[in-house]
């Protein structure tokens, strides 16, 4: 790995070669995502959000054409993300870096954004510290603590006094466990047990049995998307741990539409928190869902796609504010304090932390017109990340 001074020297050469960038008509955006590998579906959904925004708003901003240059990490691969970011800056002369589905990859590229003084739009990576790693990072997705700290408080307000946490044993799961527990215990609740499951191919039976043995009022769950939500849902039901006998709480991946199809009736009554729900009854969201579904062979939008869609909104509006000037400092200043109505609801960029401020939704799986779906039961507006945003 190159030392920081070496990186600066290499990037300095690249910046000299691209000093005439403003004279070019094309604005180049380097998109770094894991298009192949275990997170390919997330990357493709995020890319579909980017593509939909461009299709709806055109590929020219402030008189300059937008060009995407996509690079695949095959991730999670922070060193690859760093190398690709450096190559995009030095060889391809990109004006903006974007994408970053995974936290390790966002952290890997952060120093490059700083050295090159390029706006870096993080469209998904959800660990709280991401925006602290470079003054050029702006996030348009969510942070895990932003969702779960609020959720822990809400759970206590609903009368729950004891909870057990069961999360996947990796960064996002640990963040979710800590932030839910912090919100819950600050209100007076008690965590009666905590367990972590393997990230890959977990057998949930022993873990769920320990939850049953503890007999909590509620269990809080965080697992990645894919096959795990349905698997843990079945394990809970097999041991009699299903609503209304116990409150089952979790982050929104637990009740993704694909998960609901597999879980069937076992999903009824599960309560989750999320920053985007496709069933939200709003004209802007309905148009977004219709447009996205039509463009993606019936696939419905998710958290990854909305991060890409809103990330492009931020880039377009920042470029309009600078009249097409791609100077990184100018674009970051334009992004600070930016506010808009998204398909997810009202959102803005905290001018101090460059992190997203938005509504947190509490949803319950209920039957609507004969089908089980996420139904919003409460909205918590203007939520900041509690670990660094809300403290400033």
Q: What is the mean pLDDT of residues 27-48?
A: 95
d(CA 378, CA 251): 15
d(CA 269, CA 249): 9
Give domain limits for the chain.
Answer: 2-142+284-354, 145-274+360-383
pLDDT tens figures, 9-22:
445 544 444 444 44
pLDDT of residue 247: 96
CATH code of the domain occupying 2-142+284-354? 3.40.50.2300
Give Cα separations from 280 to 44, 121, 173, 275, 290 (angstroms): 23, 25, 26, 11, 13
Give Cα separations from 213 to 223, 238, 254 (angstroms): 21, 14, 22
Q: What is the mean pLDDT of residues 167-192?
A: 94
Q: Fold match between 2-142+284-354 and 145-274+360-383? A: yes
pLDDT of residue 65: 97
Q: Judge if the upstream peptide bond of residue 383 is cis by omega within 30 degrees of 0.
A: no
Q: What class does CATH assign to 145-274+360-383?
A: alpha beta
d(CA 222, CA 166): 7
With beta carbons less than 8 A apart as the criterion, state whether 315 and 96 touch: yes
Reported as a pLDDT band with limits 50, 70 and 90, residue 171 is confident
d(CA 111, CA 86): 10
Q: What is the mean pLDDT of residues 49-74?
A: 97
**pLDDT above 60 (res 64):** yes
Give the tokens for residue 332: 């970051």
pLDDT of residue 293: 97
What are the strands, taking DSSP E only, across the chain? 26-33, 60-61, 64-72, 96-99, 119-122, 137-139, 162-168, 190-197, 218-222, 247-251, 271-274, 339-342, 345-349, 356-368, 371-383
| DSSP helix/strand/coil, 65 | strand
With beta carbons less than 8 A apart as the criterion, state whether 285 and 344 touch: yes
DSSP code per residue over 231-291:
HHHHHHHHTT--TTTSEEEEEGGGG-HHHHHHHGGGGTT-EEEES--TT---HHHHHHHHH
Listed range (20-29, 225-234, 254-263) with the worst mean pLDDT? 20-29
Measured in residues, the chain has a length of 392
Pairing of strands 60-61, 64-72: antiparallel
pLDDT of residue 24: 55
d(CA 122, CA 126): 9
CB atoms within 10 A of CB 135: 16
pLDDT of residue 354: 97
d(CA 386, CA 32): 27
Give Cα separations from 117 to 43, 88, 190 (angstroms): 25, 13, 46
The CA-based dihedral angle spanning residues 92, 93, 99, 104, taken in that order and rounded to the nearest 10 degrees: 80
pTM, rounded to two decimals: 0.89
Cα of first residue to Cα of last residue in the chain, in angstroms, is: 34
338: CB partners within 8 A, 6+ apart: 314, 317, 318, 348, 349
DSSP code per residue over 115-167:
HHT-EEEESS---GGGGGG-TTEEE-S--HHHHHHHHHHHHHHTT--EEEEEE
Q: Which stretch of DSSP H or E encloses residue 12? A: helix 4-17
**pLDDT above 80 (res 81):** yes
The dihedral of CA 267, 268, 274, 276: what is its sign? positive
Query: What is the number of alpha carbons within 13 Å of residue 262 lying toward its C-beta?
Result: 16
């Amino acid at each position: 790995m190159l030392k920081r001074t070496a990186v600066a020297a290499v990037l300095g050469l690249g910046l000299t070669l691209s000093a005439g960038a403003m004279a070019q008509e094309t604005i180049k955006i380097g998109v770094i995502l894991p298009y192949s590998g275990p997170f390919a579906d997330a990357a493709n959904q995020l890319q579909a959000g980017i593509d939909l925004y461009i299709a709806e708003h055109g590929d020219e901003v402030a008189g300059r054409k937008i060009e995407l240059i996509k690079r695949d990490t095959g991730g999670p691969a922070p060193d690859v993300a760093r190398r690709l970011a450096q190559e995009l800056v030095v060889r391809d002369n990109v004006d903006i870096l974007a994408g970053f589905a995974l936290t390790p990859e966002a952290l890997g590229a952060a120093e490059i954004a700083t050295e090159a003084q390029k706006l870096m739009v993080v469209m998904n990576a959800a660990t709280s510290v991401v925006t602290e790693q470079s003054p050029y990072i702006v996030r348009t997705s969510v942070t895990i603590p932003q969702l779960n700290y609020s959720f822990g408080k809400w759970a206590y307000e609903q009368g729950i006094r004891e909870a057990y946490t069961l999360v996947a044993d990796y960064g996002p799961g640990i963040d979710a466990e800590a932030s839910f527990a912090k919100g819950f215990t600050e209100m007076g609740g008690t965590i009666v047990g905590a367990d972590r499951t393997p990230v890959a191919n977990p057998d949930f039976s022993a873990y769920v049995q320990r939850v049953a043995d503890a007999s909590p009022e509620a269990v809080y769950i965080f697992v990645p998307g894919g096959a795990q939500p349905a698997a843990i849902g079945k394990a809970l039901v097999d041991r009699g741990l299903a609503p209304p006998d116990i409150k089952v709480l979790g982050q929104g991946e637990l009740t993704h539409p694909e998960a609901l199809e597999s879980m069937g009736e076992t999903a009824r009554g599960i309560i989750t928190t999320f920053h985007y729900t496709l069933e939200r009854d709003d004209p802007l969201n309905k148009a977004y869902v219709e447009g996205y579904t039509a463009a993606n062979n019936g696939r419905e939008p998710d958290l990854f796609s909305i991060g890409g869609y809103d990330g492009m909104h931020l880039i377009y509006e920042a470029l309009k504010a600078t009249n097409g000037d791609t100077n990184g400092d100018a674009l970051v200043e334009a992004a600070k304090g930016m506010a808009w109505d998204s398909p997810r609801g009202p959102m803005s960029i905290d001018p101090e932390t460059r992190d997203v401020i938005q509504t947190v939704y509490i949803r319950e799986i209920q039957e609507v017109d004969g089908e089980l779906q996420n139904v919003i039961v409460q909205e918590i507006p203007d939520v900041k990340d509690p670990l660094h945003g809300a403290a400033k």
